[in-house]
């Protein structure tokens, strides 16, 4: 793994492909229609698109036809819940399926999993995108809270940093795109609920936590690994979206 001072070399014309997408067939959390999904991906110049509905395969055929009709490579998957009858705490099958499908990176989404997951990933050669435990909410910025976060982050980094499967540390899930500090018309409507003074304080707390504290902790305790503040996120000060996240 490259050292902390090594330059980051971007691949030639990397493009962008959504590898985790829920559609209208994931009734509990999505209303995305498959034709519209394929149309948007094609219009954005994406070479492929994935469908990974929650615990069902009902949309696969319709998705496959919609993607191929627009010149996209369809990538079929599923957000599935698997148990191992021999050992219910050891999620082997999930990782084997990911490896056999040609995927080389999994995201531990907004939490820290059991040690067996990382041990399995190490053995199978599957990389792990590791989130810190923050998602879909703004957080306090007082000294006591930030110190508690610092100690918890140090503990988790020290616990996981010797696993070769850990590819990067991500500060949070979806908060940057939900708040949308740099675009008044975008986001999830959170910031519009506060006055100017309140909004400044809330964003300052976010900025301190995810742009100062956590990257400093990662740099000190796991300096050879990359830190990314939020996902999705196009760049510092630029809101992620189909037209920016490339």
The catalytic residues are 174
Q: Write the CB contacts of 217 (distance below 8 Å, at least 6 apart in sequence).
A: 150, 153, 154, 157
Q: 105 forms bridges with which residues in the sheet? A: 127
**240: buried, middle or exposed (CB in 10 Å: 19+, 13-18, 0-12)?**
buried
219 near 162, Cβ under 8 Å? no
Q: What are the tokens at 1? A: 């793994």
3-state secondary structure of 146: helix
* Pairwise CA distance, residues 214 & 77, whole Å: 32
Q: What are the tokens at 128? A: 């792990």
Query: For residue 63, what are the CA distances in angstroms to 38, 51, 52, 55, 77?
Result: 8, 7, 11, 16, 11
Q: What are the tokens at 79? A: 């957000």
Q: Which of 175, 150, 163 is nearest to 231 (CA)?
A: 175
* Pairwise CA distance, residues 57 & 21, whole Å: 13
């Amino acid at each position: 793994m490259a050292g902390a001072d090594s330059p980051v070399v971007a691949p030639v014309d990397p493009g962008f492909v959504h590898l985790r997408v829920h559609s209208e067939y994931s009734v509990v959390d999505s209303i995305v229609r498959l034709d519209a999904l394929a149309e948007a991906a094609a219009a954005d110049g994406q070479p492929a698109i994935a469908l990974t509905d929650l615990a069902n395969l009902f949309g696969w055929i319709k998705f496959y036809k919609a993607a191929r009709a627009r010149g996209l490579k369809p990538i079929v998957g599923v957000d599935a819940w698997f148990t191992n009858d021999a050992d219910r705490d050891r999620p082997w099958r999930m990782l084997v399926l990911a490896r056999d499908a040609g995927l080389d990176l999994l995201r531990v989404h907004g939490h820290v999993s059991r040690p067996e997951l990382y041990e399995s990933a190490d053995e199978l050669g599957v990389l792990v995108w590791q989130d810190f435990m923050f998602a879909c909410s703004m957080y306090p910025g007082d000294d006591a809270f930030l110190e508690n976060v610092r100690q918890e982050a140090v503990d988790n980094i020290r616990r996981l940093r010797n696993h070769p499967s850990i590819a990067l540390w991500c500060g949070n899930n979806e908060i940057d795109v939900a708040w949308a500090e740099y675009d008044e018309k975008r986001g999830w409507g959170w910031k519009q609920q506060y006055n100017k003074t309140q909004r400044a304080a809330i964003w300052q707390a976010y900025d301190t936590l995810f742009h100062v504290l956590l990257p400093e902790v990662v740099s000190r305790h796991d300096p050879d690994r990359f830190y990314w503040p939020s996902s999705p996120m196009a760049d510092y000060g630029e809101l992620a979206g189909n037209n920016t996240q490339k």
